Structure 1
Amino acid sequence: MKFLRAVPLLLLVAACSGGGSSGSGGNQAKDPVVEDYPIAFVRRQLSIDEDGILLQDDIYEPYEFFAGAELILKDRATASATETIITADIFDGEYDVKDLNTSADGTRLIFAMRAPEIEDADDDEQPTWNIWLYDTDTATLSRVIESDLTAEEGQDIAPAFLPDGRIVFSSSRQRRSRALLLDDNKPQFSALIDSQQDPAFVLHVMEADGSDITQISFNQSHDLNPTVLSDGRVLFNRWDNAGGVDKLSLYTVNPDGSDLAIYYGYHSQNTGTEETQAIFNRPQEMPDGRLLVTLRSPSGITFGGDLATIDGIIYSEAYSEPEQSGELVGQASLTVGEVSTNDTISAHGTFASAWPFYDGTSRLLVTWSECRIVEAETEQLRTCPETLAEDEEVQLADPLYGLWIYDYIAGTQLPIVVAEEGEMISDGVILEPRTEPAYISDPVPGVDVDADLVQESVGILDIRSVYDFGGEDVAGIEVLADPAQTSADLRPARFLRVAKAVGIPDDDILDFDRSAFGRNRSEGMREILGYTPIQPDGSVRVKIPADMPLAISVVDADGKRIFDRHYNWLQLRAGEVRSCNGCHTSDSEVPHGRTDMQVVPAWAGAPTSAAPFVNTEPALLAEMGETMAQLLARLVGEADLEGDLSYTDLWTDPAVRGKDVDILLSYSELTTLAPVATTCLADWSSNCRSVIHYEQHIQPIWELSREVLDGTGAVIADNTCTVCHSPVDAAGATRIPDAQLDLSASASTVNDAWFTSYAELLVDSPELELVNGILSPRLVQEYDDNGNPVFEVDEEGNPVLDINGDPVPVMITVNIASAMTDSAIESAFFTLFQNGGAHQGYLQDAELRLIAEWLDIGAQYYNDPFAAPVD
């Protein structure tokens, strides 16, 4: 491993004895005000595996248990102050403590603690992480959730006090999500993260006595490290990992779970050393409104990184220009020396945690480790060198994190607690009074909540125009909205599709064959909740089920997605009205969702009140600024999602021209099995779902008899897909399937859990030829990049010769590109069924709609793990 050149070490750490200090800024005088406040910290043993290797600290694994920690209280922030182990005698054995936080009045300490391992017990029988509270006034320690049964329902970590005394925390219990599983006739379980490794931690709120536990965030990966901002919102780390995007950004949400929004850094993931990935870990608001974070790699052996501030009030991304170009404006390092964030030599050491003072100074309580290496020859420890030769490799020593008061302006450090070899101080907080954050009530003041929506457990999504991309009109909204200028068939966006993520259970609940995900496991499984028409101006207003991770797609008249898939989940709480200006591409860096940074919308809506939109029905009188969807909601009520793609022209003024042709693409038109319950075919409700499985819903389309009869009933043609697209003809003879596409239901050679047709449609496959009556991959000679033929060589590089003494050519297969991708509009398959296509009229419109939506949600083999074969 090659390390960066070291910079001069600015803070040389001397042995600590009491109140001494050292550093580039000179001595720091004692501050009696600071010393009056208690501090708390976690001292823990470094975790070493059986080979003597230090275990990595992985932010993405918040459930990890590292035995051998203790929580300590000092009554003053000085090295000489007495230490009290406040978690002593709680457990018999080695336990773990983390995630310290304090109340605004400085009298209470809240944290996560886990009891010792139970020897020989299964994982599901081990203790869980629980939230604990220490009251300094009464010197009492108690678990917040008193009931053992309730406490053990999930892993609870990272607590913070809300202004009304409640507690927000991250937990795997997923209380609301588990309850909703009962509506789907599934057992209750905590769903796994997008990568299907461990249960997802999401945000919950509970009363101070541990009652009334309420889930407020709905994500398919972790929501971590909640902290309460001065304005009352909850700021936290959200891991967006749908489709394998792997971003850990800062989000905000109200304490009731409404108004979820990206706050900072979604497109600024690589602000670490040499532009490597760096996580904005453990965010904490400073007195001046900036955020204090430890900027570090997601996992590593140093356990820490740089100290950085984020100016999230002004900036939502780190750089002044998109794609991490321009100047670094959104964040800045706080340290007086250079700090590495990627486990390389960091001359100024590394920081594992930081807590601001609220006394108007530039001081922080930090856990800091000097940079040390192990001498290769002597195996002795020494301070990292200031310079390294280009090819020199060194071994970093284990970190040695102590507790310090760090003044980032004066450039000084005051030692408070010195760690010993093999241990570290991992958290430190000051029990100092600070201003209580603003209180945000449930519901949010000034926001009218419709009781009927709450009772129905739905929210409302209100989009001004899907043609508004970051404040830019990308399609000519005013022209599209005018029926005299644009007919419906010329409007690209016709419907909004809403889908939800499907919770995946662990193996103890259901051990199903993971081939059920299909060719792209990162998309997970999804259910379609329904569709709603997009109005001529691109506006949408529709009721959507609350309390679940949602994804929306803009689709055309055939039900094909026309914009990129987004990889962060949307959520609405019951009664919430979520408004946005428009859409955005997945790489757009406009701060979507942040109401304080909204750009001017591209569509102003109705130009005046008491008048219709231009050339529309005279009776549809708009109010100034209203969108077409908002007008309809006001006049006829809020729209529900529908199972069909159904459109009727409500807008065109008959005096201007004739009404547009209706659209109806309905599952009821399918001859094969529909992917919905029978009751939903007749009456779509908020509990209805479209759940598409390849074997049950797509394969039957290929096998459905499509004979064409003449007037006498005689068969004049057979357009059944498998008649031509199979490896055997009507006489039973082996043949090459038409277009080299086998749509049969035999077991695939790619994965025997799939039908051959699935792999043939979605995976590039070798071109076949018939050799002596056997289908075999066609082989051709390989050529190098210069166009020269490639021949086989032996281990010594000499040509391999055949019996005639000629060199043996290297033969390779010729692959045929798959006919489908996980985007219907980009799949060549559909061109065959268009007007003038070779297969025009062979498939029903409803069948093509079903195939398109199946592709757009990810082309999974199954979309319900409980319907998949067991492993």
Structure 2
Amino acid sequence: MKSLRALPALLLLSACSGGGGESSSGGDQAEDPVVVDYPVAFVRRQLSFEDDGALVEDDVYSPADFNPGAQLVLKDRATPSAPETVLSAGLFVGDYDVKDLNTSADGQRLVFAMRAPEIEDADDDEQPTWNIWLYDRETRELKRVIESDLIAEEGQDVAPAFLPDGRIVFSSSRQRRSRALLLDDNKPQFSSLSEDLQSEAFVLHVMEADGSDIQQISFNQSHDLQPTVLNDGRILFNRWDNMGGVDNLSLYTIEPDGTDLAFHYGYHSQQTGTENADGERASAAFVKPREMPDGRLLITLRSPEGISYGGDLVTIDSANFTEAFSEPEGEGELVGQASISVEEVITDGSLSPHGLFAFAWPFYDGTSRLLVSWSECRVLEMETELPRPCTEEWLNQEEVVPADPLYGLWIYDYQEGTQLPIVVADEGEMISEGVTLEPRTEPTYIPEPVPGVDLDDKLVQEGAGILDIRSVYDFDGEDILVGEDGADIASIADPGITSAEFRPARYLRVVKAAGIPDDDTLDFDRSAFGRNRANGMREILGYTPIQPDGSVRVKLPADIPLAISVVDADGRRIVGRHRSWLQLRAGEVRNCNGCHTGDSEVPHGRPDREPASAWEGSPTSGVPFPNTEPALVAEMGETMAQLLARIAGEAGLEGDINFSDLWTDPALRAKDPSSSIPYADLTTPIPVPATCLDDWSGSCRSVIHYPAHVQPIWEKVREITDAGGAVIEDRTCTVCHSTRDADGVLRVPAGQLDLTSAASPVNADWITSYVELLFDNPTQELVDGALTPVLVQERDDNGNPVFETDEDGNLILDSDGNPIPVMVTVDIDRLMGNSANGSRFFDLFETGADHGDYLEPAELRLISEWLDIGAQYYNDPFAAPVD
């Protein structure tokens, strides 16, 4: 083999001459019998260009993109001289696309995604979809896995991989289980859009090798991509966490039946690309992960978007690390991952002298060799516009213009520092990926859990699972209650020390995402999302009490994306919003130690790496928790919630916020008073079906729309009358908070707050009260019979008045020769923030405040819920106005 350092001149020859046979840079090299005995399959494709001549971007977030002009090729041996067979030849008339190659452990079968050519003049929904295809070396048969055209076209299917039992896991927009569950909500079946609303979400499915028994196993609101099977049988994949606009693409694992979904690596490691002069690193995604024989993960580290198609060769030590850096916030040393490229690869979009890698596949022969798709760094010679290598000569031109990449297929030995060409691409094409069909050790088979044996059969029949949290006071393995006053989880759980009113966490609120259809299914007005589209739409599934020790054990619906919030006695969130979607399969029990902060890098949710629980539960068996009901006898290590579930059975969610003291030993002191904030107390429209008020089942939802459920609270008549029925005070919100008095005379509304339902003059998509409450608004005054914003002269940071100046900084004078002041509005800070507890609004209704008793507890609860889930205008797209 040639040394990498001797390659540049040879690479130029191969890049400019093209050819698919024996390479000029490798034809004189001795063949390696360990390597060449195995066939190699690869994808040769044409580069795609925009109308202006620019390369089409390769977007990780767009897995359904179609780039026609690809073909699937097989070489019987991993050597340049081996003949090529185009396996996909003759399948279609016209240009098609191929991608996502994978092999069986015995090396006999090749599985991949392929899409048929465009149908001229057909609508988008009539075009072919991506399908999973299979090639068998022994029979030389190439076939689509799903034979039925009708079933094959139900969704876009990509990124297949073989499971140890012969089934295939793949990523798909078909959302088979999610679509079926829409019928239970009286909605039409559709595949929900991802949270950026740009395309249907791709999630994981499994099917038999003959295309039968398709099952959805993941339930994200954005994409789950590029699954691969680890040696232990779990599925590793890329999850796009985009809840609330987080926009993280990190690695997760899941078992083949969809249980044990867990974060694996990189949630807080999104900036691990090339470091600039200021010490800041470029954002980079972990693309096409695959486990190496030594247990490390091999990925291509590259920008999620761009036109280079490639990045760096990187291995991840996920057995020992869950994040890239040794300290939080991307600080410290880079310990979780390392580049294995022989020379530095630049991933910030600038030229990378060592070239770029678009794909990597490990050999399983005990060596450090990889099969890679690699392009040298090239620039255009300005006089001839011919591509030249990124040598000092060509980089010192007056103008440096990158040339199109030229990805070929190579055997790359990252330890020996050698590189052997297998397939050299022609100009205008690339070898985008390649795999060896060599045998390797079969991953461990994980058997399906058996209802009644491994799973609770009753839960399976109900379509439910169990969420078990040891204590919400456990943050990253630390007891957050510990303080100078001697408080801790044990003391707050002891009714003899702490009464219910002093426990901050009282209920767990559970919400689900509302699926958003595409325009063909429902073309609704996007203003329905409200002030922040990133929050999507949410439905509240209900509440469950948090036990005194902070523990929760609750039965939840299976197969839907879930998020949880810890709330106080008033139903207001006391910690940040959950930033990733949970899921439960039917019969599954998910155990969680506690909570974590949004910026925490402690591996919350990964059982093999997270810290020990801060709450050990009952210290012994056969006795109650201290100072609790004598009949509630605990077992060692049990939480209070687990004890209740064992004695009384698994409890589900409730629609209302109800508290009953189950724990205080009445011989010690009187039980804490019961309380409830029921929806039934509302005299305005209730956001739940009437049938759910008395019987809250797993299908019940609280769906809050601002115009339908919040606005009526401001308009509700609140007259205070004397014994004779005469009105002595009218507390109706809109009586004072409107721009017209009872006689219709224009005025400044009380508190500069207009709560009427007229279309907002600022944004006609919403009513006035919504804009007034959720946005900063200018102070107004009545001037010549018109409401006018109050203007004051702007002042700089030093308090000096600001005047208008020209582009040279000179004062602009008026007709009298005086400088012209810069006038600005005096804005009033919005009353409502990103949560109920973060909003000034509720201070007005505290006991003793001016409006202390103006609103009912049920009304304040409804407003709190609506704010906590995102202050959406609507929370069901089918209830929103259509365009």
What is the CA-CA distance between 1:340 and the residue it aligns to? 1.0
Name 2:484's counterpart in structure 1: none
Alignment deviations for residues 649-680 of structure 1 (CA, whole Å, 9 cap, x no partner): 00001111111121201100001011000000
| Cα distance in 1 for residues equivalent to 2:649 and 2:207 | 35
Alignment deviations for residues 163-215 of structure 1 (CA, whole Å, 9 cap, x no partner): 00100000000000000000110000000000111100000000111011000
Corresponding residue SS for 2:194: coil
What is the CA-CA distance between 1:393 and the residue it aligns to? 5.9
Name 2:278's counterpart in structure 1: none
Q: Residue 240 and residue 392 in structure 1: after superposition, are their counterparts in 2 closer, same or farther (change >3 A)?
A: farther
| Cα distance in 1 for residues equivalent to 2:419 and 2:396 | 32
Name 1:450's counterpart in structure 2: 456
Matches within 5 A, 1:465-476: 465-475=471-481, 476=488
Q: Residue 727 and residue 390 in structure 1: after superposition, are their counterparts in 2 closer, same or farther (change >3 A)?
A: farther
Residues 451 and 587, structure 2, Cα contact 8 Å, conserved in 1: no
Corresponding residue SS for 1:315: coil
Counterpart of 1:329 (choices 315, 323, 335) is 335
Which deviates the most, 434-443 or 530-539? 434-443
Q: Residue 39 and residue 444 in structure 1: after superposition, are their counterparts in 2 closer, same or farther (change >3 A)?
A: farther
What is the CA-CA distance between 1:8 and the residue it aligns to? 8.4
Quote the RMSD (CA, aligned, Å).
1.9
Matches within 5 A, 1:593-672: 593-672=605-684
| Cα distance in 1 for residues equivalent to 2:652 and 2:90 | 57
AA at the equivalent of 1:418? V
Which deviates the most, 709-718 or 468-477? 709-718
Name 1:292's counterpart in structure 2: 298
Matches within 5 A, 1:427-826: 427-443=433-449, 448-475=454-481, 476-794=488-806, 798-826=810-838
Name 2:420's counterpart in structure 1: 414
Name 2:34's counterpart in structure 1: 33
| Cα distance in 1 for residues equivalent to 2:644 and 2:491 | 20
Residues 8 and 347, structure 1, Cα contact 8 Å, conserved in 2: no
Residue 402 (structure 1) aligned with residue 408 (structure 2): yes
Alignment deviations for residues 660-707 of structure 1 (CA, whole Å, 9 cap, x no partner): 121201100001011000000111000000000000000000000111
Matches within 5 A, 1:37-56: 37-56=38-57
Q: Residue 797 and residue 91 in structure 1: after superposition, are their counterparts in 2 closer, same or farther (change >3 A)?
A: same
Q: Residue 21 and residue 279 in structure 1: after superposition, are their counterparts in 2 closer, same or farther (change >3 A)?
A: farther
Name 2:430's counterpart in structure 1: 424
Number of residues of Structure 1 aligned to a counterpart in Structure 2: 863
Residue 867 (structure 1) aligned with residue 857 (structure 2): no
AA at the equivalent of 1:480? I
Matches within 5 A, 1:178-197: 178-197=179-198
Residues 21 and 415, structure 1, Cα contact 8 Å, conserved in 2: no
Percent identity, aligned pairs only, is: 71
Q: Residue 298 and residue 393 in structure 1: after superposition, are their counterparts in 2 closer, same or farther (change >3 A)?
A: farther
What is the CA-CA distance between 1:386 and the residue it aligns to? 4.4
What is the CA-CA distance between 1:302 and the residue it aligns to? 0.9
Q: Residue 707 and residue 388 in structure 1: after superposition, are their counterparts in 2 closer, same or farther (change >3 A)?
A: farther
| Cα distance in 2 for residues equivalent to 1:795 and 1:302 | 40
| Cα distance in 2 for residues equivalent to 1:307 and 1:556 | 48
Alignment deviations for residues 553-604 of structure 1 (CA, whole Å, 9 cap, x no partner): 0000000000011211111101000001001111111111111113110000
Corresponding residue SS for 1:326: strand
| Cα distance in 1 for residues equivalent to 2:846 and 2:387 | 72
Residues 832 and 839, structure 1, Cα contact 8 Å, conserved in 2: yes
| Cα distance in 2 for residues equivalent to 1:659 and 1:13 | 85
AA at the equivalent of 1:318? A
Name 2:272's counterpart in structure 1: 271
Corresponding residue SS for 1:455: helix
Q: Which runs of 5+ in 1 are unaligned?
A: 1-6
AA at the equivalent of 1:493? A
AA at the equivalent of 2:403? A
| Cα distance in 2 for residues equivalent to 1:389 and 1:817 | 54
Q: Residue 390 and residue 268 in structure 1: after superposition, are their counterparts in 2 closer, same or farther (change >3 A)?
A: farther
| Cα distance in 2 for residues equivalent to 1:760 and 1:350 | 52
Residues 203 and 223, structure 1, Cα contact 8 Å, conserved in 2: yes
| Cα distance in 2 for residues equivalent to 1:288 and 1:846 | 59
Name 2:362's counterpart in structure 1: 356
Residues 707 and 718, structure 1, Cα contact 8 Å, conserved in 2: yes
Q: Which runs of 5+ in 2 are unaligned?
A: 276-280, 482-487
Residues 75 and 82, structure 1, Cα contact 8 Å, conserved in 2: yes
What is the CA-CA distance between 1:285 and the residue it aligns to? 0.6
AA at the equivalent of 1:148? D
What is the CA-CA distance between 1:732 and the residue it aligns to? 1.0
**TM-score (structure 1 length as normaliser):** 0.97
AA at the equivalent of 1:397? A
Residue 845 (structure 1) aligned with residue 857 (structure 2): yes
Alignment deviations for residues 783-832 of structure 1 (CA, whole Å, 9 cap, x no partner): 22333322224566554333433222111111111000121001000011
Corresponding residue SS for 1:299: coil
| Cα distance in 1 for residues equivalent to 2:67 and 2:182 | 33
| Cα distance in 2 for residues equivalent to 1:445 and 1:231 | 23
| Cα distance in 2 for residues equivalent to 1:793 and 1:708 | 57
| Cα distance in 2 for residues equivalent to 1:490 and 1:384 | 68
| Cα distance in 1 for residues equivalent to 2:568 and 2:7 | 61
Corresponding residue SS for 2:837: helix
Name 1:283's counterpart in structure 2: 289
Residues 22 and 413, structure 1, Cα contact 8 Å, conserved in 2: no
Residue 235 (structure 1) aligned with residue 241 (structure 2): no
Residues 37 and 430, structure 1, Cα contact 8 Å, conserved in 2: yes
Name 2:378's counterpart in structure 1: 372
Residue 65 (structure 1) aligned with residue 77 (structure 2): no
Name 1:382's counterpart in structure 2: 388
Name 1:4's counterpart in structure 2: none
Corresponding residue SS for 1:600: coil
Corresponding residue SS for 1:596: coil
Corresponding residue SS for 1:702: helix
Residue 76 (structure 1) aligned with residue 77 (structure 2): yes
Q: Residue 74 and residue 493 in structure 1: after superposition, are their counterparts in 2 closer, same or farther (change >3 A)?
A: same
| Cα distance in 1 for residues equivalent to 2:22 and 2:428 | 24
What is the CA-CA distance between 1:377 and the residue it aligns to? 4.5
Residue 109 (structure 1) aligned with residue 121 (structure 2): no
| Cα distance in 1 for residues equivalent to 2:176 and 2:322 | 31
Residue 830 (structure 1) aligned with residue 842 (structure 2): yes
What is the CA-CA distance between 1:458 and the residue it aligns to? 0.6
Residues 132 and 158, structure 2, Cα contact 8 Å, conserved in 1: yes
AA at the equivalent of 1:317? E
| Cα distance in 2 for residues equivalent to 1:837 and 1:442 | 59
| Cα distance in 2 for residues equivalent to 1:799 and 1:528 | 57
| Cα distance in 2 for residues equivalent to 1:244 and 1:643 | 29
| Cα distance in 2 for residues equivalent to 1:785 and 1:563 | 35
Name 1:3's counterpart in structure 2: none
Corresponding residue SS for 1:87: coil
| Cα distance in 1 for residues equivalent to 2:760 and 2:459 | 48
Q: Residue 829 and residue 11 in structure 1: after superposition, are their counterparts in 2 closer, same or farther (change >3 A)?
A: same
AA at the equivalent of 2:842? F
| Cα distance in 1 for residues equivalent to 2:673 and 2:245 | 41
Residues 566 and 585, structure 1, Cα contact 8 Å, conserved in 2: no
